Amino acid sequence: MNEALLDDIVRATLYNGYTLYPFKTALAPGLPQFPFGRVYPEAYSAFQNGSEPCLVQAECLAQARCEEAAVEARVRFLHLTAREAGEPSWRQAVEREAGAGWIALQGEEARRVKFYFPASRDIEGMRQERVEGTIGMTVHRLGDGIFKISVCVRNHTAMTPSDVKDTAAVMRRLFASTHIVLRGRDAEFVSQMEPPARLRTTAESMRNIGLWPALIGDERKAERELMLASPVVLQDYPQLAADDEQPQFDSISAELSLTLDAI
């Protein structure tokens, strides 16, 4: 597995569209338009009648190489930090990661794993609220060594009725720039962009919400053990451009603001 490349691409896409500069909340009466992959607390999503998402979902196909084949799912996102000692208020973020563990590709299995990150404050007045969520992962055998993998991440962070009306309170409980990473052990993932002809109809039936899966690795070696489901639309085997000061992608879609809920 090309873990170094995966980490570089995840870090670049985590911050795509989210620049960690101070900003005045007084200049942003509504929710800021900064990251892709926003996953709001369920209470806030309900308050907005579902117009703001409380989950993301990635689905793809995997092929087992042997009886010991297994897949793992992990979620990575940004957890916002705020300092509000008068005006201006400003925010930074901490990278968070949680996993659902490995599931063997042997039959039908479902797993739901809870995770949380506690509230904190430091001596400089930086404040972070507790956030919590779940990773739901299911494996469904389709036959001939092919399995459907489904991973859903939800934000279950508690909010009071007054919190859901407070922009700053909502932002501190948001999962920002949420990504799902899938790893295969003795297993290969099937491209969503260019699936083999015999699996094209099945691949097209995958339901991805807010994310799009792409293969990560060395295309020349046809590596298929890593899949990144990103809110930024990537082609298979994206590479970081070596010339730019800021990471960009050679194969990134130009329509970065595309909402993927309908995929």
Domain span holding position 38: 34-185+195-203
Beta strands in 166-248 (DSSP E): 175-185, 187-189, 212-216, 226-230
CA distance 261 to 39: 12
Domain count, the chain: 1
Q: Is residue 256 part of a domain?
A: no
Q: Is residue 242 part of a domain?
A: no
* pLDDT value of position 35: 53
What percent of the chain lies above the pLDDT cut of 70? 79
The sign of the dihedral angle between the CA atoms of 94, 40, 162, 22 is positive
* pLDDT value of position 154: 98
* pLDDT value of position 230: 94
Instruction: Give the pLDDT band (50/70/90) at residue 10.
Output: confident
Statement: residue 248 has pLDDT above 60: no
Can you spell out the DSSP letters for 75-107?
EEEEEEEEE-SSSSPEEEEEEEEEEEEEEETTS
Cβ neighbours, 10 Å, residue 50: 9
Statement: residue 258 has pLDDT above 80: no
Phi, psi (5° rounding) for residue 232? -95, 125
Cβ–Cβ < 8 Å for 175, 44: no
By mean pLDDT, which of 11-20, 54-63, 104-113 is the weakest? 11-20
Statement: residue 3 has pLDDT above 70: yes
CA distance 263 to 261: 6
Nearest CA among 158, 138, 156 for reference residue 148: 138
Phi, psi (5° rounding) for residue 55? -155, 160
What percent of the chain lies above the pLDDT cut of 90? 63
Q: Is residue 131 part of a domain?
A: yes
Q: Is residue 130 part of a domain?
A: yes
Average pLDDT score over residue span 193-206: 96
Residue 50's Cβ-side half-sphere holds a number of Cα atoms within 13 Å equal to: 1
Residues 178-197 pLDDT 10s:
999 999 999 999 999 999 99
Q: Is residue 91 part of a domain?
A: yes
Instruction: Give the pLDDT band (50/70/90) at residue 36.
Output: confident
